[in-house]
Amino acid sequence: MQIVNLTGNAMVDIKKIYLKALKLKPLTKTEAIGLLNSNFHDLLYYANKLRQNFKGDKIKLCSIINAKSGKCSENCSFCAQSAHYKTSCETYPLVSASELKAAFSTSQKNGTKCFGIVTSGKGPTENEVEEICKSIQKIGLRKIDLSCSLGVMEKNALRKLKNCGVTTIHHNLETAKSYFKKICTTHTYTERVNTIKYAKSLGFKVCSGGIIGIGEKPNQRVELAMELKELNVDSIPINILNPVASTPLEKNKKISPQDSLRTIAIFRFIMPDKNISLCGGREANLQDLQSWIFYAGANGTMSGGYLTTAGRSVKQDIKMIKDLGLKN
């Protein structure tokens, strides 16, 4: 039993907190923050047990298409696609229905479980929503989840996506409410929260997480996890900053692999029965420790590339999963 003496906090018993999470009893903020200073290997041990209990050995792979790139009006300080910064990001308008269908077919054949359509910008125009819906209708038979990540949205637009067969809305909170204004000032945290609430009210599954390593404090990662739990989202993607030249965060120092893995584990403790994945920044930040994400409590990852950076192939990730004795 690992007991940790935290400065200014009560003693924290990792096993006791694990048993509480196992019964789906909400952790207190003090307990969650206490895990930040707990023994690393003990933390991963219990996080892995929680994953095994609630998710078994099945690992979920997802993939995306960057369906509209660059020239984004928003000033998120980590983003290569923001028009506020002079990056080398490729820019293009909404892709054609045939391009979208081809990308979906490839994802489905590769064995991923969810395919996401992602567009740059604060939110889609009415015409863009109509075009996306038309493209989706041309996809045909779907054996995997279809997700859209189109930015801030109102109910009418979301309802149109629902009617054409979209099952999941992806919309990250990005970071804790207390830190949000440090990374974006062109829209509000409340707008993001409302999009999630609208999506849930219409019966969508909601995928929402954030990005770590953007200057936030460790306890703000806990704050983000607690906020996501309160919103009762279904899936939580965790991204790690891969600094982009010419953005305000280009000189940010990368967080350590252990720091990244600890974050995954704490999210698992806070939301033991949810889908948790590690997505952007996996290769750049974890390198040889990528397979450890599952022992830290993740039960999914993004494969085949990200919005503006390349990733590993689905074939490589499936091999990694099988080598660990896990299942895709």
Element (DSSP H or E) covering residue 117? strand 114-119
Phi, psi of 53, rounded to the nearest 5 degrees: -65, -45
Phi and psi at 36, nearest 5°, equal -60, -30
Would you call 124 helix, strand, or coil by DSSP? coil
Q: Say which residues have a Cβ less than 8 Å from residue 294's Cβ, sequence separation at least 6.
A: 48, 51, 59, 321, 324, 326
Q: Is 212 exposed, middle or buried (0-12, 13-18, 19+ CB in 10 A)?
A: buried
Tell me, yes or no, whether 39 lies in a domain.
no
CA 271 to chain centre: 14
In a domain, 212, yes or no: yes
C-alpha–C-alpha distance, residues 236 and 254, integer Å: 21
pTM: 0.93
Q: How many domains does the chain have?
A: 1
Residue 75 domain flag: yes
DSSP-assigned letters across all residues of 200-255: HHTT-EEE--EEESSS--HHHHHHHHHHHHHHT-SEEEEEE----TTSTTTTPPPP
pLDDT for the residue 133: 96
Give 173-209 pLDDT, tens digit per residue.
999 999 999 999 999 999 999 999 999 999 999 999 9
User: Residue 250 carries which side chain, given as an amino acid letter?
Assistant: E
Element housing 61 (H / E):
strand 60-68
Confirm whether 328 is domain-assigned. Answer: no
147/114 Cα distance (integer angstroms): 7
Which structural domain range is residue 239 located in? Answer: 58-323
Report if residue 181 sits inside a domain.
Answer: yes
First-to-last alpha carbon distance for the chain, in angstroms, is 33
- Supply the CATH number for residue 265's domain: 3.20.20.70
Kindly report the number of other CB atoms within 10 A of residue 257's CB atom: 17
Burial class (CB in 10 A: 0-12, 13-18, 19+), 291: middle
Which pLDDT does position 312 carry in this prediction? Answer: 78
H or E element: which one contains 274? none
How is residue 95 annotated by DSSP? P
Q: Is residue 43 part of a domain?
A: no
Successive 10-residue mean pLDDT values, the chain, 328 residues:
42 90 96 96 97 97 92 94 91 94 90 92 96 92 89 96 95 98 97 98 97 97 98 97 93 94 98 96 89 97 75 86 94
**Cβ pair 267, 225 in contact under 8 A:** yes
Asked, for residue 1, whether it belongs to a domain, the answer is no
Within a domain: residue 104? yes
Give the pLDDT confidence of 259-317 residue by residue, as tens digits.
Answer: 999 999 999 999 999 999 999 888 889 989 999 999 999 999 998 776 766 677 888 89
The rounded radius of gyration (Å) of the Cα atoms in the chain is 19
Q: How many residues does the chain have?
A: 328
At 2, which amino acid appears?
Q
Give the angle subtended at the CA of 290 by the CAs of 144 and 236, to the nearest 5°. 45
The whole-number pLDDT of residue 308 equals: 63
Helix, strand or coil, per DSSP, at residue 310? coil
CA gap 80, 246 in Å, rounded? 8
Q: In this structure, are residues 277 and 235 in contact, taking their beta carbons and an 8 Å threshold? A: yes
Q: Find how far residue 259's CA is from the centre of its chain.
A: 17
